[in-house]
Structure 1
Amino acid sequence: MFIRPASVALPVFLAVSSVPAWSEPLFGSQNCAVVVAARPTLPEARAWISENGYHERARVFLSSNNWFAITVGVVAKSASEGIISNGVRRATMPSDTYCTSGSSFLKEINWRTASSGAPSTDLWGDFDARPMSVVEKRFLQGSLALAGYYSGLLDGAWGRGSQSSLEAFTRDKFNEEPSNSHAAALVIDFIVAIDSEGWEQIPMEGLAMNLMMPVKKMRLTESDGLYKQWDHSDLNLQLIANDLINSELVSVHNFAESKSVTPSDIYKVRKRTRWVTSTTDPRGLSVYVRSELIRGTWSTVFITGGSDSSNELNLMVSSISTDTFGSLIPPENSTLMTHAMKLLDEFEESKTEPEPQVGVSQSPSQPEPKSREGGTGTGFLINEDGVLLTNAHVVEECSSINVNGHRADLIVSSNIFDLAAVSVRGVDLGEPLRFASDSVGLNADITIAGYPLHGLLGGLNVSRGSISALKGLRGDETNLQISAPVQPGNSGGPAVNRFGNVVGVVVSKLNTVEIADLTGDIAQNVNFAVRGDLAKVFLMSNGINYTEANRGTEKSVEDLAQMLQSATHLIECAP
């Protein structure tokens, strides 16, 4: 949860002062700044920023009441209520966060001075956990646990055990001391695992306990009241959850102890409200049992795993908790995620040859001149709150954005993913699309929708194709290659599977003119889409709701077209 001294409340920045505040809207007439805290002195403001992990994005303003207001972004007024509500619910913002026009701010303070003692946030600098929030530290602990280097609790407290685990990881893998780039590499691997295996914090029904589980791999094989058993589809990994009385508690833990080779191999805890037994049997099978006294009975999880699942078991054990948690993945603009995005960006740049590129991708929105002249693209509805997903390049440098002629507000944009979310209030935009719960496979059938060549072609265009490759140009792992025809204006449109679930976001097409000049042949139907898994990460990290769906019943091509027609909309960008 968000850590902040309870005795210090946010002051209201409306105090009367003889010092004049800005007379013009500081953040624009339609925007406001998100205020997460205020402190009476600049050193206290700096300390708060460091403790709560806002070092990358915090701005500090001196207010007319002589307090220092800490802001973490500027958002559209119309979208501020939803953004703050999501932040509070996911414990990434304090409960008394609010949005202000800045009318009482006197000046912005440069708080990042040498005297602030701020740690380095350079990607290649020495690792420092101080700028990170509890959510970020917990995520990094989870990354280390799945890599097999951390066995403590995922509590977001970065102490000696967490640091030693990171140091062991970097020594083994890189023969180096930890840097921010090493933490970023861990995070990228963890995000890939979350996407491919479906790691989520899952509540144990009726037991007031929860733990992380790869839901795409674990199958519920037995269920009888509170008794539940899950088995991994590929690995020797089993989880049992049940509620026990005192006699059953003793029997279960004695059984676990009996599996050890020698008494010295047993780790056990026997407290009034918690019992833990951990050991390894002669065959190398790891056994872990944890029981918590809750409401008079013992909520218990029993986990066993072979050598092939030691890392997965490690993460499950570390994540067991009786507390509730918000978002698993930190916000995209957090220190940890920013480092991960920078590392991905540098990796992509390292693969680019210095000479002119062959077959550079063209964004299928209107051609992009040196100065933005406006254009059109596509977006699709993803939730009941009127939020649409599109490409970042569709809405960048727009003085205003319209969806089907209605004013839209930009919520968030990422140039790394080339994704953006916009919102439209008070307008019926149809039925939201749902994301596929599993990753799309090679040669899978897809259907795309969009508004290509708006002004020349009339209305929505729906076309079909398949997944040609699971990587984009030059092995870009953020994209899929698709064969469905793409034209200028298709940018931001959905790509759905045969069940009607989103598996990608149309983003670009191959530059066929360059290919023809260089090879003498014209490449056909070589187009790209942002992976649906990464689109979900983008939405999750920014606190935007979406829904997932399993495969279900295969839909006819006519039904798919009708579904896409309801959810897909024209986006217009005014320069």
Structure 2
Amino acid sequence: MRHILVALLFSLMFSNGAQAWTRAELADPFDASDLTPNEIRFLQAALALKGDYIGMIDGKWGAGSARGLKAYIRESGIDLGPGELPNLAPVALISDAIVTISNQGWSRYYFDFADLSFLSPQKTMTSKVSDNGLSLDFNDSVSSLSISLTSGNASRTSAFHQYALSNSVSKPYTVRKDRLVITSAKVFGGKTLYIRSDLMSAGNWSTILISSLDRDAGRLALVTGSILPHRGADLELPENGELATGVLAFLAAANDSEGATGNAPNPRENEGMVAAKPPSAPQDVQSSSGTGFAVAPEGLILTNNHVAGSCHKILVDGTPATLIGADEAFDLALVRVTGVTNLVTATFADAPAPLNSDVTVAGYPLAGLLSGLNVTRGSVTSIKGLGGDGSRMQISAPVQPGNSGGPVVDAYGHVVGVVVSKLDAKLVQDEIGDIPQNVNFAIRGEIAKLFLYQNGVTPRTSGEKDRLAPEMLAKQLQAATHFITCD
């Protein structure tokens, strides 16, 4: 591992620096004023990635950066003694973070359309233009981090921020200026959503939407803290600067210590430490099925992540489809049916479904036993899910295996939820001795709309209050609901 660190240091260092740290100077009190802005930026990036710093990656060492370094040392269990931290503290941080920063390719991405840039893990991120052509979406293959870049008028821009505010489960952070709007909110499902909009021209705004689960908060902090309204500087370490030479001195000292005790480094001792999970033994591929419904005419189908999120092959009504977005926390997935351009699209309600309101559920349960679309009716029995989960609601409309991913609509035919599960009656009976009746759950429509926005889809909404006859509801659902199989 030490040889890897040395190689990575030299691969990242290409600018000239001032003076170097010797082995003896590692014990001296750390003074950030000795470092260049590039070195401080690298330290701030490493602290953010470790989850110990929330602030700008700006090369200016302040109280927040100092607190972050102390927190990192404390959490790492490194005993550096009482008093001021020595130079060894930032050296230990860099030694710990540099492999991740290099292997994942953290570097600055420039969005020329909006003249905006930010740091991102470019070796692990995949990008694509949304199917409606309204956004450029990035998804991290090794974490829940996702980034979307889009633009639009003031009304569309305001909608992004309003969704974050309306779904916030704690006090949000906001900035409101004439040319800059920022909203950062903790939303349902243990996820943080950060939205920044910049005014580019009269009535036209650029917007960056960034989200992650709590476990990846450090990655989100690194991206959000690095956003600049211009190209900006990349991450780099001066070749002869204090940090780079300090790491080399630290490694040399550790190597001497091993040699003195006769413990030569084992070149295989760290193999597998950062390896991916071993592949499972081959298994027979089994088919499963579920339900989805159209959210855009261009073949876009919304369903559950547990229905379509891990398929080798997806079919929608027998037609091949591809997964274009998924969220494990919300249990939602978006798929695109190949070659379809004129699907009948569902309309979402513009407000949450109130308690005890009527709902209708459509889906394809128990495939092979039942045939055709199955429609059931019930009501909203709780505005929260199991254990007070605010991203779910409880409904009494009967659902069965295969209903997952189907639409839940109100009396006006507007989507207010997405079927996700039913309560395990046998498990509850074993626990309390009674069998629960019609305890079923749906993902709230507000969460589904937020997921669609994050994946570049603007859902159709309506506030019309014309009740539909049950027969008309069924006809409308039949046109927008689809059967999904997963192999």
Q: TM-score, normalised by structure 2?
A: 0.53
Work out whether residues 374 and 398 of structure 1, in 8 Å CA contact, stay in contact via their aligned partners in 2.
Answer: no
Work out whether residues 200 and 206 of structure 2, in 8 Å CA contact, stay in contact via their aligned partners in 1.
Answer: no
Find the aligned partners of 1:415 and 1:452 in 2 and give their Cα distance: 22
Find the aligned partners of 1:122 and 1:438 in 2 and give their Cα distance: 28
Secondary structure at the counterpart of residue 205 of structure 2: coil
Secondary structure at the counterpart of residue 405 of structure 2: coil
- Picking from 177, 180, 186, the partner of 1:155 is 180
Task: Report the counterpart of residue 53 of structure 2 in structure 1.
Answer: none
Work out whether residues 135 and 156 of structure 1, in 8 Å CA contact, stay in contact via their aligned partners in 2.
Answer: no
Matched, 1:393 2:306: yes
Work out whether residues 107 and 119 of structure 2, in 8 Å CA contact, stay in contact via their aligned partners in 1.
Answer: no
Task: Report the counterpart of residue 564 of structure 1 in structure 2.
Answer: 477
Task: Report the counterpart of residue 396 of structure 2 in structure 1.
Answer: 483
Work out whether residues 509 and 528 of structure 1, in 8 Å CA contact, stay in contact via their aligned partners in 2.
Answer: yes
Using the TM superposition, give the Cα deviation of residue 458 of structure 1 relative to its aligned residue in structure 2, in angstroms. Answer: 1.1
Find the aligned partners of 1:325 and 1:566 in 2 and give their Cα distance: 36
Matched, 1:58 2:57: no
Find the aligned partners of 1:484 and 1:342 in 2 and give their Cα distance: 39
Task: Report the counterpart of residue 86 of structure 1 in structure 2.
Answer: 134
Residues 13-162 of structure 1 mapped to structure 2, 5 A cutoff: 46-49=106-109, 52-55=117-120, 57-59=121-123, 72-73=125-126, 82-83=130-131, 85-88=133-136, 150=175, 152-153=177-178, 155=180
Task: Report the counterpart of residue 339 of structure 1 in structure 2.
Answer: 217
Work out whether residues 331 and 337 of structure 1, in 8 Å CA contact, stay in contact via their aligned partners in 2.
Answer: no
Using the TM superposition, give the Cα deviation of residue 544 of structure 1 relative to its aligned residue in structure 2, in angstroms. Answer: 1.6
Task: Report the counterpart of residue 449 of structure 2 in structure 1.
Answer: 536
Find the aligned partners of 2:467 and 2:442 in 1 and give their Cα distance: 22
Work out whether residues 480 and 529 of structure 1, in 8 Å CA contact, stay in contact via their aligned partners in 2.
Answer: yes
Q: Which amino acid aligns with 2:117?
A: N
Matched, 1:418 2:331: yes
Using the TM superposition, give the Cα deviation of residue 542 of structure 1 relative to its aligned residue in structure 2, in angstroms. Answer: 1.2
Secondary structure at the counterpart of residue 535 of structure 1: helix
Distance 1:73-1:553 versus aligned 2 partners, 3 A rule: same
- Picking from 345, 366, 370, the partner of 1:453 is 366
Using the TM superposition, give the Cα deviation of residue 150 of structure 1 relative to its aligned residue in structure 2, in angstroms. Answer: 4.7
Find the aligned partners of 1:134 and 1:83 in 2 and give their Cα distance: 14
Secondary structure at the counterpart of residue 407 of structure 1: strand
Find the aligned partners of 1:387 and 1:542 in 2 and give their Cα distance: 11
Task: Report the counterpart of residue 97 of structure 1 in structure 2.
Answer: none
Find the aligned partners of 1:324 and 1:426 in 2 and give their Cα distance: 32
Task: Report the counterpart of residue 425 of structure 2 in structure 1.
Answer: 512
Find the aligned partners of 1:338 and 1:84 in 2 and give their Cα distance: 28
Using the TM superposition, give the Cα deviation of residue 132 of structure 1 relative to its aligned residue in structure 2, in angstroms. Answer: 9.0
1:396-429: per-residue Cα shift (whole Å, max 9, x none)?
3211000111001111111011000011133477
Using the TM superposition, give the Cα deviation of residue 151 of structure 1 relative to its aligned residue in structure 2, in angstroms. Answer: 5.5
Task: Report the counterpart of residue 21 of structure 2 in structure 1.
Answer: none
Find the aligned partners of 1:326 and 1:509 in 2 and give their Cα distance: 41
Using the TM superposition, give the Cα deviation of residue 492 of structure 1 relative to its aligned residue in structure 2, in angstroms. Answer: 0.2
Using the TM superposition, give the Cα deviation of residue 155 of structure 1 relative to its aligned residue in structure 2, in angstroms. Answer: 2.1
1:175-231: per-residue Cα shift (whole Å, max 9, x none)?
xxxxxxxx96x4439x99x9xxxx999xxxxxxxx9xxxxxxxxxxxxxxxxxxxxx
Distance 1:421-1:562 versus aligned 2 partners, 3 A rule: same
Using the TM superposition, give the Cα deviation of residue 551 of structure 1 relative to its aligned residue in structure 2, in angstroms. Answer: 2.5
Secondary structure at the counterpart of residue 85 of structure 1: coil
Secondary structure at the counterpart of residue 382 of structure 1: strand
Find the aligned partners of 2:144 and 2:302 in 1 and give their Cα distance: 31
Work out whether residues 373 and 478 of structure 2, in 8 Å CA contact, stay in contact via their aligned partners in 1.
Answer: yes
Work out whether residues 372 and 397 of structure 1, in 8 Å CA contact, stay in contact via their aligned partners in 2.
Answer: no
Using the TM superposition, give the Cα deviation of residue 462 of structure 1 relative to its aligned residue in structure 2, in angstroms. Answer: 0.3
Using the TM superposition, give the Cα deviation of residue 439 of structure 1 relative to its aligned residue in structure 2, in angstroms. Answer: 1.2
Q: Which amino acid aligns with 2:118?
A: G
**RMSD value over aligned CA atoms?**
4.6
Residues 334-483 of structure 1 mapped to structure 2, 5 A cutoff: 339=217, 373-427=286-340, 430-483=343-396
Using the TM superposition, give the Cα deviation of residue 536 of structure 1 relative to its aligned residue in structure 2, in angstroms. Answer: 0.3
Task: Report the counterpart of residue 324 of structure 1 in structure 2.
Answer: 204
Work out whether residues 304 and 331 of structure 2, in 8 Å CA contact, stay in contact via their aligned partners in 1.
Answer: yes
Task: Report the counterpart of residue 62 of structure 2 in structure 1.
Answer: none
Distance 1:563-1:327 versus aligned 2 partners, 3 A rule: farther
Find the aligned partners of 2:144 and 2:437 in 1 and give their Cα distance: 42
Find the aligned partners of 2:410 and 2:215 in 1 and give their Cα distance: 29
Distance 1:72-1:449 versus aligned 2 partners, 3 A rule: same
Secondary structure at the counterpart of residue 390 of structure 2: coil
Residues 110-259 of structure 1 mapped to structure 2, 5 A cutoff: 150=175, 152-153=177-178, 155=180, 186-188=185-187
Find the aligned partners of 1:499 and 1:122 in 2 and give their Cα distance: 35
Distance 1:551-1:326 versus aligned 2 partners, 3 A rule: farther
Question: 427-436 vs 441-450, which deviates more?
Answer: 427-436
Distance 1:477-1:321 versus aligned 2 partners, 3 A rule: farther
Secondary structure at the counterpart of residue 325 of structure 1: strand
Percent identity reads 37
Distance 1:148-1:570 versus aligned 2 partners, 3 A rule: closer
Aligned residues, how many?
Answer: 301
Q: Which amino acid aligns with 1:188?
A: V
Please, which runs of 5 or more residues in structure 2 have no aligned partner? Answer: 1-101, 111-115, 152-157, 222-282
Q: TM-score, normalised by structure 1?
A: 0.45
Work out whether residues 382 and 546 of structure 1, in 8 Å CA contact, stay in contact via their aligned partners in 2.
Answer: yes
Q: Which amino acid aligns with 2:402?
A: G
